[in-house]
């Protein structure tokens, strides 16, 4: 029984959370720290990263902040230099440009891909290599329901999120024999800075809430459990997977509920 109780224990393990200043990344950092992990809280928003780290320390955990721009090719090296090779890597940041495909110019396309796909890829590649050399590690990247279902105006964003799933699967296949697990989490609609525009529109916000089986949006804290699970020994046989944490969004077919 004691063995099962320790499945989620992360004491003595280092975790690098990129995007830790706010939203899902912040919640993930607090969740991992609550289970004993030592955190490097990285974000472009250095003040926000420090606030997250300070909050963890105030609760008795161990955390340091790191200013990090995922678009910088040197970012993975800076992260490894600051905190060493982590046992856990979590990558959350993304941007979205809500325009029809015909209105997306090359600059906007490159901006979305550079952060969502290329920046995440660099971290997966370089931190994953360091984990493989050590012989253990867990990488968790954030996909989206948009990797599977789309709506007008989100084509490029959806393509990057689908691409992350395939990168995770490929890395899982390549690194499994070297002790490194790689998985993706696909959130539904979550109240974060990325969705601020929708949250500010009553009809739009409610339409999204109604689409989910649970009839509401998620709070960032509701994603932390999935992160802790995939980071921990509770998921020791889980790799190459995409875990949907979407309130049943992708399970519900259509926008009309027939009379039953």
Who contacts 170 (Cβ-Cβ below 8 Å, separation ≥6)? Answer: none
In this predicted model, what pLDDT tens digit does every residue of 88-139 receive, in sequence order? 999 999 999 989 999 999 999 999 999 999 999 999 999 999 999 999 999 9
What pLDDT score was predicted for residue 193?
Answer: 82
| β-strand partners of 43 | 67
Q: Which residues are catalytic?
A: 157
SS3 content of the chain, % helix, strand, coil (to 5): 50, 15, 35
What pLDDT score was predicted for residue 257?
Answer: 67
* Weakly modelled stretches of the chain, pLDDT under 70: 1-2, 255-258
Q: Provide long-range contacts, Cβ within 8 A and 24+ apart, for 167-175.
A: 167/117, 167/120, 167/121, 167/124, 167/141, 168/124, 168/139, 168/141, 168/143, 168/240, 168/242, 169/240, 171/124, 171/128, 171/139, 172/239, 172/240, 172/241, 173/240, 175/128, 175/131, 175/132
HSE-CB of 92 using CA atoms within 13 angstroms: 28
What pLDDT score was predicted for residue 258?
Answer: 67
Cα separation, 132 vs 127, whole angstroms: 9
What pLDDT score was predicted for residue 134?
Answer: 97
Task: Look at the block and give the residue holding tokens 């004491």.
Answer: 11
User: Per-domain residue ranges for the chain?
Assistant: 2-245
Q: Strand 14-18 relative to strand 38-43: parallel, antiparallel, unpaired?
A: parallel
What pLDDT score was predicted for residue 194?
Answer: 76
What pLDDT score was predicted for residue 1?
Answer: 58
**Which of the listed CATH numbers 1.10.287.1040, 3.40.50.2300, 3.40.50.720, 2.60.40.3080 matches domain 2-245?**
3.40.50.720
What pLDDT score was predicted for residue 196?
Answer: 79
Task: Look at the block and give the residue holding tokens 């296949």.
Answer: 173
* 233 phi/psi in degrees, rounded to 5: -70, -15
What pLDDT score was predicted for residue 195?
Answer: 80
* 187 phi/psi in degrees, rounded to 5: -75, 160
Cα separation, 96 vs 74, whole angstroms: 23
């Amino acid at each position: 029984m004691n063995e099962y109780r320790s499945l989620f224990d992360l004491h003595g393990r280092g975790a690098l959370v990129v995007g830790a200043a706010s939203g899902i990344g912040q919640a993930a950092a607090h969740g991992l720290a609550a289970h004993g992990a030592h955190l490097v809280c990285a974000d472009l928003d250095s003040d926000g990263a420090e606030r997250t780290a300070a909050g963890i320390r105030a609760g008795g955990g161990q955390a340091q902040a790191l200013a990090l721009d995922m678009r910088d090719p040197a970012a993975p090296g800076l992260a490894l230099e600051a905190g060493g090779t982590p046992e856990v890597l979590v990558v959350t940041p993304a941007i979205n440009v809500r325009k029809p495909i015909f209105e997306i110019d090359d600059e906007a396309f490159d901006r979305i891909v550079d952060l969502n796909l290329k920046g995440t890829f660099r971290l997966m590649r370089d931190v994953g290599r360091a984990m493989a050399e050590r012989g253990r590690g867990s990488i968790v990247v954030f996909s989206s329901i948009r990797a599977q279902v789309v709506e007008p105006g989100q084509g490029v964003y959806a393509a990057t999120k689908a691409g992350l799933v395939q990168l995770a699967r490929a890395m899982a296949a390549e690194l499994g024999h070297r002790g490194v697990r790689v998985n993706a989490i696909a959130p539904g609609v979550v109240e974060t800075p990325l969705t601020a525009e929708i949250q500010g529109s009553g009809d739009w916000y409610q339409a999204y809430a109604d689409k989910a089986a649970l009839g509401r949006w998620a709070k960032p804290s509701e994603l932390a459990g999935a992160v802790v699970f995939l980071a921990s020994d509770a998921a020791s046989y889980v790799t190459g997977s995409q875990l949907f944490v979407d309130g049943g969004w992708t399970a519900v077919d259509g926008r009309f509920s027939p009379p039953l």
